[in-house]
């Protein structure tokens, strides 16, 4: 973990070499999800509510998923942009260094401009929380933090799976975007508004529901039954990441036996 921060600091220094481009990109990232959020806003303006969810409740869901997404794009960019590492042969370098491949790949790239996006989502989060009549408790705060943290893990897991595919295809797989961008677009709304199979997929296969919809029910006091269960739902993100790491290790083994 210490090494990860060393990578972080050297790449941050590199980023500072290109300040203008950094600010422009950050600025752009701030506004990209804006249009999406505007769509959300106008929809609620027109319909008032969505299956029992108010505008601010949905905005909270939106903010959490987008925060998790921008954090993962910043801090797990190495896996997200892994195809260039393989195609350029740089992965060989990773293998001749005495550290785990996961840390080294994570440390190979950071996308600091995603802070623009993070900031935008954070503003929406604060705005939504300010307007929601939530009775706060320590447990709820922890749950909220867990939701974001765990969301980061899920996105990271998907990047890892996509990166693993690069060992076979060399080129990046756009397929993975269905799950990252698609998952983000889906999970920014409460999952119960969708068809049953969509809900099931994003709860049990890629557990976005476990970091947004389900724990939100707890925070918004909509739970009937075991509150602890809902509160701990975000831990599913950890459960999701573990098999991803295993699959990654398999990919590395494949790479080392084929060299492609």
Partner 1 sequence: MQNERGPYLISLQGIGKSFKVARRSAGLRQAAKALFVREHAIVKALDEISFSIHEGEIVGYIGPNGAGKSTTIKVMSGILVPDSGSCSIMGYTPWKDRAAYVKHIGVVFGQRSQLWWDVPVIDSYELLRDIYKIPAETYRANLNMLVDTLGLHNLINTPVRQLSLGQRMRCEIAASLLHSPKILFLDEPTIGLDAVSKIAVRQFIKTINKEKGVTVILTTHDMSDIEALADRILMIGKGALLYDGTLSELRSRFGTHRTITVDFRECLQPVDIPGVILLSWTPERALYSLDTEHVSIASVISQLSELVEIIDVAIETKPIDEIIVQLYKEHQI
Taking CB under 8 A as the criterion, the residue among 21, 23, 198, 256 binding partner 1 is 256
Under rule CB under 8 A, residue 100 binds partner 1: yes
Burial pattern 114-152, b for ≥16 Cβ within 10 A else e, equals bbbbbebbbebbeebbeeeebeeeeebeebbebbbbbbb
Per the CB < 8 A criterion, the answer to whether 95 and 101 are in contact is yes
Under rule CB under 8 A, residue 90 binds partner 1: yes
- Closest CB 134 distance from partner 1, rounded Å: 43
Piece in contact with partner 1 (CB under 8 A), picked from 6-14, 67-75, 178-186, 201-209 = 6-14
Under rule CB under 8 A, residue 195 binds partner 1: no
- Closest CB 96 distance from partner 1, rounded Å: 5
Piece in contact with partner 1 (CB under 8 A), picked from 83-91, 112-120, 138-146, 149-157 = 83-91
CA pseudo-torsion sign 161, 95, 238, 151: negative
Nearest to partner 1 of 55, 112 (CB atom):
112
Tokens describing residue 18? 């290109």
- Closest CB 88 distance from partner 1, rounded Å: 7
Q: Which of 18, 89, 102, 94 is nearest to 260 (CA)?
A: 89
Piece in contact with partner 1 (CB under 8 A), picked from 14-22, 76-84, 124-132, 144-152 = 14-22
Residues whose CB is less than 8 angstroms from the CB of residue 69 and which lie 6 or more positions away in sequence, other chains included = 117, 151, 155, 180, 184
Q: What Å distances lie between residue 163 and 16, 36, 57, 258, CA to CA? A: 27, 27, 34, 16
- Closest CB 83 distance from partner 1, rounded Å: 16
Residues whose CB is less than 8 angstroms from the CB of residue 248 and which lie 6 or more positions away in sequence, other chains included = 101, 102, 160, 161, 163, 164
Taking CB under 8 A as the criterion, the residue among 23, 52, 92, 145 binding partner 1 is 92
Per the CB < 8 A criterion, the answer to whether 234 and 208 are in contact is no
Under rule CB under 8 A, residue 221 binds partner 1: no
Piece in contact with partner 1 (CB under 8 A), picked from 2-10, 123-131, 220-228, 231-239 = 2-10
Under rule CB under 8 A, residue 199 binds partner 1: no
Under rule CB under 8 A, residue 174 binds partner 1: no
Ranges within 16-75 binding partner 1 (CB under 8 A): 17-18
- Closest CB 15 distance from partner 1, rounded Å: 8
Please work out the total of residues on this chain that contact partner 1, with binding judged by CB under 8 A. 26
Residue with the two structure tokens 């954070």: 122
Burial (CB count <10 Å: 0-12, 13-18, 19+), residue 257 = exposed
Under rule CB under 8 A, residue 6 binds partner 1: yes
Q: What residues line the site for partner 1 (CB under 8 A)?
A: 2-3, 6-7, 10-11, 13-14, 17-18, 88-90, 92-93, 95-100, 256-260
């Amino acid at each position: 973990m210490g090494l990860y921060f060393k990578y972080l600091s050297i790449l941050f220094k590199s980023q500072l070499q290109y300040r203008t481009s950094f600010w422009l990109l950050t600025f752009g990232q701030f506004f990209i999800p804006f249009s999406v959020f505007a769509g959300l806003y106008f929809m609620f303006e027109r319909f008032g509510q969505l299956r029992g969810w108010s505008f601010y409740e949905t905005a909270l869901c939106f903010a959490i998923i987008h925060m998790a997404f921008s954090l993962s794009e910043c801090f797990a960019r190495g896996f997200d942009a892994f195809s260039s590492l393989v195609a350029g042969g740089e992965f060989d370098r990773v293998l001749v260094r005495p550290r785990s491949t996961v840390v080294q790949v994570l440390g190979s790239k950071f996308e600091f401009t995603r802070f623009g996006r993070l900031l935008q989502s954070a503003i929406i989060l604060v705005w939504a929380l300010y307007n929601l009549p939530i009775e706060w408790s320590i447990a709820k705060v922890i749950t909220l933090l867990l939701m974001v943290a765990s969301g980061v893990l899920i996105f990271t897991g998907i990047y890892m799976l996509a990166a693993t595919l690069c060992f076979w295809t060399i080129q990046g797989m756009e397929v993975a975007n269905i799950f990252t961008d698609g998952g983000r677009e889906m999970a920014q709304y409460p999952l119960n508004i969708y068809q049953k199979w969509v809900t099931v997929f994003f709860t049990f296969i890629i557990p976005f529901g476990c970091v947004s919809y389900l724990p939100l029910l707890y925070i918004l006091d909509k739970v009937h039954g075991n509150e602890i269960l809902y509160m701990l739902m975000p831990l599913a993100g950890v459960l999701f990441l573990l098999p991803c790491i295993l699959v990654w290790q398999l990919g590395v083994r494949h790479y080392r036996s084929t060299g492609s």
